[in-house]
Each structure stands twice: as C-alpha cells, then as structure tokens.
Amino acid sequence: MADDSVLLREGVVRLLEDNGFEVVGQAGDAEDLIRKVRAHKPDVAVVDIRMPPTNTDDGLRAALEIRAELPDTGVLVLSQYVEEGYALDLVGDSAGGVGYLLKDRVADVDRFVESVRRVAEGGSALDPEVVAQLVGRARRDDPLAELTPREREVLELMAEGRSNNAIAEHMVVTDRAVEKHVTSIFGKLGLAPAPEDHRRVLAVLAFLRA
Amino acid sequence: MILGGIDVALILTSDHVDVRGAFAAVALVVGWGFIGIGLFAWDRRPNNSVGSLMVATGFAWLLSLISASNVSVLFTAGVFVSSVYFVTAIHMLLAAPYGRGLPRGDRRIVTAAYVLVTVGLLPLYLFVDPARDGCDGCPENAILIEHNQTIVDIWSSLVNLVGIGLIVAVLISLIRRWRQATRPERRLYAPVYAAGVALLIAAIAQLALQTAGFAGGAAEIAYIISIIPLALVPYLFLASLVRVRVAQGGAVSDLMTRLGEAPQPGGLRDALADALEDPSLELVYWLPDAGRFVDFRGRDYPLPEDDPARAVARIEREGECVAAIVYDASLREAEQHVRAVGAAAALAMQNERLDAELRAKIGELRASRERMLRIGLEERRRLERNLHDGAQQRLVSMALNIRLARAKLNEDPLAADQLLASAGDELTSALEELRELARGIHPAVLTDRGLGTALETLASRAPVPVELAALPEGRLPEAVELAAYFVVAEALTNVAKYANASHATVEVARENGRLVVEVADDGVGGADPEHGSGLRGLADRIAVLEGRLEIDSDRGRGTTIRARIPCE
C-alpha cells in the first residue's frame, strides 16, 4: 500500500486487513514502492497517483513500471481526479491485473475490497466515473445511440471490469439476460466477442477511446 | 517674346504714350517677368495653378499694351482688355500659395471681377471718344457709337465703385487668409502678400481718385505707383521659391548639428518641429511587434486618416518603417523636404524608437500587472463563493447529521443509521465539488502530462463533439500551457453555453515563436468580447503573456477564438 499520507495509508491498510488481506509492505513514495514491490512480489499494489518525489503523477509512473516488470502483480491506482487519460495510459494494451479508482471509493468499503480482490486475481477495475466519461463523450454519428438504456448500463459495467455474474447481481437480472445483452452490444458495435473479462474491457475501451 | 517685341515697337512709335523708353522697359519687365517665372513655377508644380495664372497675367498685361498702337482696331482692342491682367493677378494672389480650387467666396469675387473688366466695361467703350476724353494723340475708337459724356461719367463712376468694392473684398479675404496661415506659410509668402496688398491699395487709390474727378494727374500717378508692386510680384514669388530651397538646406544642416548633441527624450520631435517650423509636428514610432504607432512616451498614437489638416510622412530605414512624421498639411508642398529632414534624422529615430518601445513595454507591463491583480482577486472571490456555497455548506450539514446520529444512537439506531447514510452522501458530494474546484484552479493533468493530454480531457468532457486537429509535441513553458488550456476551456464552455454548435475544432500549433491556439465552432456566432467576463478575463490572461486574443464571430458564421502566445 503506497500513499504519502500516513493517515490515509493506515486507514486503507486497516480496512484491507479487516477484510482478510495480508498487507506485506507500506510505502510513502514512488521509489520506496518499487523497492518493496520487487522484494515482496505481492498479488496487488494499491498506489496513490500523487506521491513524492515530484508530487505529480509519480505513483502512475511507478505503477506502469511495476506492470511492465512484474506482470503477476496487479496494480490498483487511486486518483484524486477523474482523468480518463491516466486510466487509458495505465491500462495500455492489457486490462489484466489493473485498476484505476477515485480515491473517494475507499469509503465504499465493500466495493473497494471487491475491486482490490478483482485486480489481485488478474481482472480489472475502472472507476464508474471514468467509464461514464468515456461513454458520455460527445461523438458525431454516435454508434452508442443504437444501444438501449439497459445495454448502455451493461456496457458501462463491463468497462468497469465486472464479470457477467457481478453485472447480473448488480442489475438484479439473470446471468442469461446479461449474456444476451453482451452479445447484442458486441453485435451493434461490431466488436469480436472476447472470452475473458479483462480482454472484454480492453475491447470496449479501445472502442470508446476511438 | 514676340508679343513683347510687338509691344515695344508699338510703344516706341506711339503717338499717345509719353515716356516711351521707360514705359517699354517696364512693359517687358512686368510681362516677361510674369510669363517666365510663371512657366518656371508651372513646370515645377504642375498641379499648382499659381504658375499658370502668372503666365496668364503676363499675357494679359502684354496684350493690353497693344493699346499703344496708332492703328484704331489694335488700340481699341488693347484698351478693351486693359484691366484683365489686374484681375488675373488678383486671381493668382487668392490662389497662392497652393493653387488649389478657390473657396466659394473668393470664386465669386474673381468671377465678378472678370465680368466687370470685360462685359461691364463694354457700355463705356461704346460711348467714349478718346480724343474728347483728354487723349490727343489717340487713334479713333473702333467701336464708338457716339460720344456721350454723361454716360461715360456715370458708367465709369459705377464701374469704379464696384471695382473698389471687389478689391476691398479681396483685401479682406487676403487678411483673413493671413491670420489663418501657419508660421511656415507666413514666412514663405509674406513678401508676395505684401506686394499684392500694395498693388491692391494703389488700385483702390487710382479708382477712387478717378471717380473723384482727378482723371489727369493724381490717378495717373497712382496707376504708375501700382505698377511697382505688380512688377515685383513674380520676382518676389521666385525669391520665395529659392528661399524655401535654401532654408530647407539650412534646416537639414541645423538639424544634423542638433542631433549631434545629447538628445533628451522627445528632443528629436522638437528638433524636427524647429527644422520644419511646424510646432504642431508629431513624431511617432512604429512598433512592429505590437503593430501600432506610439509617441516618445510609449503611448498609443493612431495616425490621422482623412484629416485634411494633417499630413503623414513615413520614415523608412533599410526598407522597414521606423517612424512617421505627422505634420501640418500646409507643408505638404514641401513633402520632399519633410522626407529629407526625416531621412537625416532616421538614425536618431532608430534610437528614440527603442526608447519609445521600452516605455510602451513598461506601460503594458504596468497595465498587465494591474490586470493580473484583478484576475487574482476575481478568482479568489470566485473560490471563496464556491467553497462557501458548496463544500462548506455540505460539511456543516454533515456535522449536524453526525451529531444528531450520535444523540439517537442508543434510543433509535434505525434513525441514526439513516442520518449517517445521508452524512455519507453529503460527504461524497462535498468531495466531488472540491475535486471540480481544484480542477478549475489548476488541472493536475496539465502539470503531469502537458497540454496535449489535458486538452484531450477537455475535449472528451465537452458536451459537443470536439475534433483535436493538431496538438503540440512535447512540453511548453508552464504559464503558456496554462493560458492555452484556459483559452480552450473557456472557448469550449462558451460553445456549450451559447453557440448552439454541432461540433467544434481545436487546433494548437507553434508558429514563429508563438503558440497559436484556435477553437472554432459552427454555431450561431455573434460572440462579443466586450460583454461577458469570460472572454475579457481570457484576453487579460493572454495579454499578461504579451499575447493577443482574436475573436471572429460574425452572426451566423460560427465563432473562432484565436490566441497567439509568445513562447520561445
């Protein structure tokens, strides 16, 4: 867990430990983070985007370094701002084991813990606001206009990195209904179906950023 | 020459001219003087009618002298046109020095005078027999009907009185002209004016004496006296032409000497004003970067346009405009001279221009510092308002909810839970508001990633489709990036609010050491930078960086906002 604010860092650590995680290391700056990740090789690193030494996007750059160097370590970046640019940079060409959440989300403990777990297991977790930003972008001849409101909702949840099961639970429908929506969305947007959740995320993101 | 020769021959053989030799000499001095100098002036200034009028006066004078002939027809013709030269001379005096069209009043006087000395005299000549009017050696009047002394007396008195009236009118017009004349004009034409006035007064005296009945002696003397200023007019005019040249040469050398001395700020203007004898002269400098003229203090000085009283000479050095001299239009005659003086002072101007440029810069800096302070104050006020209305209110209500929840924790846990849930919602909203506020103050992505990424974010958040046509590579100075960001942010906000556009295009490119930021939409146009604090604040932000903001927003043609920000 890396954050230069001790208060927040310890809060998150306690929260994670309360929910069954083992926190192997804490870091207050980007260099410390990379050193400790190399030493412990954790399942997931939770990283604040703004950290010393330069107090700009050091956390994000460290996260990119970790992703390149240790593909088995998931990285969940916490940000003060909704910047889809950061999220897209972070995802790069693989949405496996990566997450980008607004810092506020730690307050919603259950969802936060679920996101950390998903990233640790090789999935993805994109903040709903980032997704809303991407989906809501004004486009000429918007292909998203073809989607029904339900399909739009499914698309957004998919882009966040949620599984069909989680989507079904969230929308209070059956898995089967979600599958039907997903097929329809991919058809309407002209995307090839992707088997794994995180590949699906990448396909959707690639579509949305185009 | 031929006419002069004929005149001399006629005078020398005349039976009715008294002092033949002297009169012949005077005839040539006056006639050839007017014609020769008139031709010279005409050739030098073809657009100035003074030259041609002098030539006309010379010919009219020589023509009138064929009245010396002993042949009746020539004598009669000469007598009939004998006063025309006087009117052309008046015409010339009124046209001097610029020889442009006469004002309406002068034109009426001149027209009346021409009519008077031709048609007006005809009745007189039909009824006068020279032999019975006191001229013994004169030949016969070729157009005589019969001699009638009554008509002659009455008509000649009438003509003389009208003539005096016209001459007085000319005098008044000349005096008024003189009072309005500028110093250089007076200096130039004083002798010509003086001779002209003498001529007019002598003519009045002659006519008055004639009318009073002193036909023989005193009126003759007045006529002879009037010849002297008449004869002088062309030569004085020539002298003024020559003196202008000499004075101009002298002025340039005086100027060169003065420029050699240590100049004071604005001293160059004074030196030029003295050299050109034009106290109203202004010397203004061209600032190529700013694209405007300033005086030596660095203050804006727009060149006069369509002002008939002011003329402008642009001074160039090595093909580039460095300055302009704004001078009294009466000197326009001497435009060559103004240019010569300007060229002599061009180097000194170069120096003073740098001074003026510096002063203009200082003025701008002072203004931009004030603008910056104002922007700062406005932003503080806006922040305070936003914090007060937004996050602060939410935190207060949240604190309240938490207190209430604590109070109810034991007796009514369900209500406490609801209160805490609503406190949580307030908290989320407060966080969101703070986040947006912080982004408005300074978008973190701009510092982290630079203009390109920040603009991509702006574009994707805009409610209309935005095409990013071009973005600069690499990083730019922080202040430039921030200004460019705010240009695009404000422009896109306006597009969303007012333009009713279907899409917008953002283009950011480096051009000759400037960053050019352009946001164009296809909306309704009609944006007015004078209204709405957004665009004005933007213009201030850009001005602080010595950039410029341009807005093209014709109604119905969409809006294009273009900022040019210096960035090395």
User: Is-contact B204 B229, C-beta < 8 A?
Assistant: no
Closest alpha carbon to B443 in A137, A61, A56, A63: A56
Closest alpha carbon to A73 in A29, A113, A30, A39: A39
- Is residue B454 domain-shared with residue B322, that is, in the same domain? no
Which residue, of B362, B396, B419, is where some domain finishes?
A: B362
- Is residue B431 domain-shared with residue B451, that is, in the same domain? no
β-pair partners for B316:
B321
Residues sharing a CB contact under 8 Å with residue B385, sequence separation 6 or more, in sequence order: none
Integer angstrom CA distances of residue B234 from A154, B53, B98 = 104, 11, 15
CA B162, chain centre distance (Å)? 42
Least confident range of B165-174, B539-548, B559-568 = B539-548
| Segment B201-260, tens digit of pLDDT | 888 888 888 887 765 677 778 778 888 888 888 888 888 777 777 777 777 777 777 777
- The percentage of residues in chain B with a pLDDT greater than 70, rounded to a whole number, is 96
The chain B residues in contact with chain A (CB within 8 A) are 424, 427-428, 431-432, 435, 438-439, 443-445, 447-449, 453, 456-457, 460-466, 502-503
Least confident range of A139-143, A155-159, B230-234, B409-413 = A139-143
β-pair partners for B165:
none
Half-sphere exposure of B173 (CA within 13 A, CB side): 23
Gap from A81 CA to chain B (nearest CA, Å): 7
d(CA B306, CA B231): 40
Identity of the amino acid at A148: T
d(CA A118, CA A112): 10
pLDDT category of residue B321 using cuts at 50, 70 and 90 = confident
Buried residues in A164-199 as b, exposed as e (16+ CB within 10 A): bebbbeeeeeeeebbeebbebbbebbeeeebeebbb
Integer angstrom CA distances of residue B548 from B288, B406, B488, B543, B565 = 14, 58, 14, 6, 7
Q: List the single residue in A57, A81, A84 with the smallest CB-CB distance to B439.
A: A81
- Is residue B47 domain-shared with residue B34, that is, in the same domain? yes
pLDDT category of residue B186 using cuts at 50, 70 and 90 = confident
CATH at residue B163 = 1.20.1070
Chain A residue with Cα closest to B443: A81
- Is residue B184 domain-shared with residue B89, that is, in the same domain? yes
Q: Where are the domains of chain A?
A: 6-126, 132-209
Asked whether the predicted pLDDT for residue A48 surpasses 90, the reply is: yes
In a domain, B170, yes or no: yes
Q: Which of residues 132-161 of A touch B (CB under 8 A)?
A: 133-134, 137-140
Please report the number of interchain residue pairs, chain A to chain B, with beta-carbon separation below 8 angstroms. Answer: 49
Contacts of A104 in chain B (CB under 8 A): 428, 431-432
- Is residue B207 domain-shared with residue B105, that is, in the same domain? yes
User: Is-contact B267 B351, C-beta < 8 A?
Assistant: no
Q: Residue B303 has which token pair? A: 């060149």
Half-sphere exposure of A23 (CA within 13 A, CB side): 19
- Is residue B234 domain-shared with residue B106, that is, in the same domain? yes
Asked whether the predicted pLDDT for residue A58 surpasses 80, the reply is: yes
User: Is-contact A99 A4, C-beta < 8 A?
Assistant: no
- How many domains does one find in chain B? 4
Instruction: State chain B's mean pLDDT as an integer.
Output: 84
Asked whether the predicted pLDDT for residue A116 surpasses 90, the reply is: yes
Q: Is B177 left (phi over 0), alpha (psi -120 to 50) or beta?
A: alpha
- Is residue B200 domain-shared with residue B103, that is, in the same domain? yes
Instruction: Compute, in degrees rounded to 10, the torsion defined by CA atoms B403, B405, B410, B412.
Output: 140
In a domain, B256, yes or no: no
Chain A residue with Cα closest to B428: A104
| Segment B2-21, tens digit of pLDDT | 888 888 888 888 887 777 88
| Segment A165-208, tens digit of pLDDT | 999 999 999 999 999 999 999 988 888 888 788 888 888 888 88
Half-sphere exposure of A194 (CA within 13 A, CB side): 20
Integer angstrom CA distances of residue B235 from B84, B141, B239, B241 = 20, 36, 6, 10
Tokens 């300074």 appear where? B442
Q: Contact B453/A85, CB-based, under 8 Å?
A: yes
Domains A6-126 and A132-209 share a fold: no
What is the reported pLDDT for A24? 96
Q: Where are the alpha helices (DSSP H) in B462-512?
A: 478-494
pLDDT category of residue B371 using cuts at 50, 70 and 90 = confident
Order of all β-strands in the sheet with A124-126: A44-48, A74-79, A98-102, A124-126
| Segment B439-471, tens digit of pLDDT | 888 888 888 888 988 998 888 888 889 999 888
Residues sharing a CB contact under 8 Å with residue B398, sequence separation 6 or more, in sequence order: B423, B426, B427, B430
Order of all β-strands in the sheet with B504-511: B466-470, B504-511, B514-521, B560-566, B548-552
Buried residues in B109-145 as b, exposed as e (16+ CB within 10 A): bbebbbebbeebbebbbbbbbbeeeeeeebbebebee
Q: Where are the alpha helices (DSSP H) in B45-138?
A: 49-64, 72-80, 84-95, 104-117, 122-126
- Is residue B285 domain-shared with residue B228, that is, in the same domain? no
- Is residue B239 domain-shared with residue B143, that is, in the same domain? yes
Does residue A101 sit in helix, strand or coil? strand
pLDDT category of residue B531 using cuts at 50, 70 and 90 = low
1.20.1630.10, 3.40.50.720, 1.10.10.1200, 1.10.10.10: CATH of A132-209: 1.10.10.10
Q: List the single residue in B428, B448, B465 with the smallest CB-CB distance to A139.
A: B465
Pairing of strands A44-48, A74-79: parallel
pLDDT category of residue A17 using cuts at 50, 70 and 90 = very high
Residues sharing a CB contact under 8 Å with residue B59, sequence separation 6 or more, in sequence order: B3, B31, B35
How many Å from the N-terminal Cα to the C-terminal Cα in chain A?
A: 33
d(CA B164, CA B212): 13
- Is residue B431 domain-shared with residue B466, that is, in the same domain? no
Q: Where are the beta strands (DSSP E) in B329-474?
A: 466-470
Residues sharing a CB contact under 8 Å with residue A112, sequence separation 6 or more, in sequence order: A15, A101, A105, A106
Q: Is B371 left (phi over 0), alpha (psi -120 to 50) or beta?
A: alpha
What is the reported pLDDT for B343? 78
Q: Which residue has the higher pLDDT, B198 or B47?
A: B198
What is the reported pLDDT for A65? 95
Gap from B464 CA to chain A (nearest CA, Å): 5
Which residue, of B441, B460, B482, is where some domain finishes?
A: B441
In a domain, B209, yes or no: yes
Asked whether the predicted pLDDT for residue B187 surpasses 80, the reply is: no
What is the reported pLDDT for B320? 80
CATH at residue B431 = 1.20.5
DSSP annotation of B135 reads -
What is the reported pLDDT for B447? 85
Q: Contact A140/B465, CB-based, under 8 Å?
A: yes
- Is residue B397 domain-shared with residue B346, that is, in the same domain? no
Q: Contact A134/B460, CB-based, under 8 Å?
A: yes
In a domain, B512, yes or no: yes
Asked whether the predicted pLDDT for residue B92 surpasses 80, the reply is: yes
What ipTM was predicted for this assembly? 0.79
In a domain, B102, yes or no: yes
Chain B residue with Cα closest to A108: B424
Q: Contact B448/A81, CB-based, under 8 Å?
A: no
Q: Contact B444/A56, CB-based, under 8 Å?
A: yes
Find the mean pLDDT for residues B518-534.
81
- Most A CBs within 10 A among B445, B468, B492, hence the mutation to make, goes to B445
What is the reported pLDDT for B560? 93
d(CA B395, CA B418): 17
Which residue, of B441, B475, B493, is where some domain finishes?
A: B441
Chain A residue with Cα closest to B449: A57
d(CA A98, CA A119): 6
In a domain, B235, yes or no: yes
Order of all β-strands in the sheet with B320-328: B292-294, B282-287, B320-328, B310-317
How many other CB atoms sit within 10 Å of the CB of residue B101?
Answer: 10
Asked whether the predicted pLDDT for residue B331 surpasses 80, the reply is: no
Q: List the single residue in B424, B447, B460 with the smallest CB-CB distance to A84.
A: B460
What is the reported pLDDT for B214? 65
Q: B191 exposed, middle or buried (CB, 10 Å; 0-12, 13-18, 19+)? A: middle
- Is residue B437 domain-shared with residue B449, that is, in the same domain? no
What number does CATH give the domain A6-126? 3.40.50.2300
CATH at residue B509 = 3.30.565.10
Contacts of A86 in chain B (CB under 8 A): 445
Q: Contact A56/B461, CB-based, under 8 Å?
A: no
Integer angstrom CA distances of residue B300 from B286, B290, B309, B556, B561 = 10, 10, 20, 34, 25
In a domain, B505, yes or no: yes
Q: Is B298 left (phi over 0), alpha (psi -120 to 50) or beta?
A: left
Q: Contact B465/A80, CB-based, under 8 Å?
A: no
Chain B residue with Cα closest to A135: B460
Which of B92-101, B163-172, B228-237 is the most confident on average?
B163-172
Report, in angstroms and rounded to the nearest whole number, the Rg of chain B calculated over CA atoms.
42
Which residue segment(s) compose the domain that B284 sits in?
262-362
Longest dimension (CA), chain B: 150
Half-sphere exposure of B433 (CA within 13 A, CB side): 18
In a domain, B428, yes or no: yes
pLDDT category of residue B195 using cuts at 50, 70 and 90 = confident
Residues sharing a CB contact under 8 Å with residue B278, sequence separation 6 or more, in sequence order: B182, B183, B184, B327, B328, B331
What is the reported pLDDT for B276? 76
pLDDT category of residue A83 using cuts at 50, 70 and 90 = confident
